[in-house]
Amino acid sequence: MIQRRWANLSLLAVTAVWGATFIVVKRATEDLPPFPFLSIRFAIAFLTLLPFVWIQRNYLTRTGIWKGLGLGCILFGGYATQTIGMQYTTASNAGFITGLSVVLVPALVVLTTQRLPRPTLILGIISATLGLALLSLGDDLRFNQGDLIVLFCAFFFALHIFFVGHYAPTENATVLAAGQILAVSILSGISSFIFPQASIHFSSYAWFGILLTAIPATSLAFFIQTKMQQFTTPTQTALICSAEPVFSALFAFLLAGEILPLRGLAGATLVLIGMLIAEFSGPRETSEPSE
């Protein structure tokens, strides 16, 4: 129980970092397009992990390397479809649909175990999903042609959380984190040449965004996620990650003075309630596979 609580708190800290850096990434990618930004960001993150991979080189196995690279391909699929889909939809729609991984992860668990989650966990998922809708969607609640692409993004992120939960207990966390970070960097670099890019401008702010996110929001964050998912479930991880837009809104207020409307505050509250329901619903869910 104590291990699970510490794991969930660590994952919440990672989610807070991702939410805090959202406004920085958004501003930085106005100068440097998303794919080149991701390629350089993840390349630097990989380089920072290399010394730790060398120290733990005894854990380097062909299976661990391939699993890490496979996770990276899935993770890149999430970033790529989100980047492409956001060209054809609104940021609010993209935020909500991406957050639907909170529903897709337990759906994957049900499909693989043939058992439903505990009722309290289902209640937490419903609360978080309603909260994401209030927090992200506008008054018109209209959907756009890019929404289907972003839905694939949510599926990729859900797959990533799901498979990290399965691989983390049997493989070295540093090797898995390094493998997936390397894969995202390489695939983002290739995509920079395949897909049309806006003008590339290596401004001082773009470099600031890259360096700020490379370690705390990439190498450290994915290492912590990989390590901590040994002690918690994929569904609870997805619920915790659903708080990213809550932290994003909080730091947008603290750093840029942006104020959430009442509807957004209600949504943020429902997301947090959903997380708390899941956290205090009891020990590890018997309906989910042992991670």
Please give the pLDDT value at position 24. Answer: 84
Q: How confident is the model at residue 217 (pLDDT cuts 50, 70, 90)?
A: very high
Which pair of structure tokens corresponds to residue 37? 């930004």
Q: What is the pTM of this model?
A: 0.86
Which pair of structure tokens corresponds to residue 117? 């989650």
- Amino acid present at 5: R
d(CA 111, CA 115): 8
- Contact (CB, 8 A) for 251 and 78: no
Q: Which position has the higher pLDDT, 85 or 213? A: 213
Q: What residues contact 4, with CB distance under 8 A and at least 6 apart?
A: 231, 232, 283, 284
Q: What average pLDDT is seen over the chain?
A: 85
Of 3, 150, 11, the C-alpha closest to 86 is: 150
Query: Is the pLDDT confidence value at 286 over 60?
Result: no
Secondary structure string (H, E, C) spanning the chain: CHHHHHHHHHHHHHHHHHHHHHHHHHHHCCCCCHHHHHHHHHHHHHHHHHHHHHHCHHHCCHHHHHHHHHHHHHHHHHHHHHHHHCCCCCHHHHHHHHHCHHHHHHHHHHHHHCCCCCHHHHHHHHHHHHHHHHHHCCCCCCCCCCHHHHHHHHHHHHHHHHHHHHHCCCCCHHHHHHHHHHHHHHHHHHHHHHCCCCCCCCCHHHHHHHHHHHHHHHHHHHHHHHHHCCCCCHHHHHHHHCCHHHHHHHHHHHHHCCCCCHHHHHHHHHHHHHHHHHHCCCCCCCCCCCC
Give me the mean pLDDT over the 215-224 stretch.
Answer: 94
Least confident of 29-43, 140-154, 262-276: 140-154
Give me the mean pLDDT over the 168-180 stretch.
Answer: 94
d(CA 78, CA 116): 26
Of 144, 149, 150, the C-alpha closest to 99 is: 150
- Contact (CB, 8 A) for 109 and 222: no
**185-208 tens-digit pLDDT:** 999 999 999 987 777 888 899 999
For the chain, give the percent of residues with pLDDT over 90. 41
Please give the pLDDT value at position 1. Answer: 67
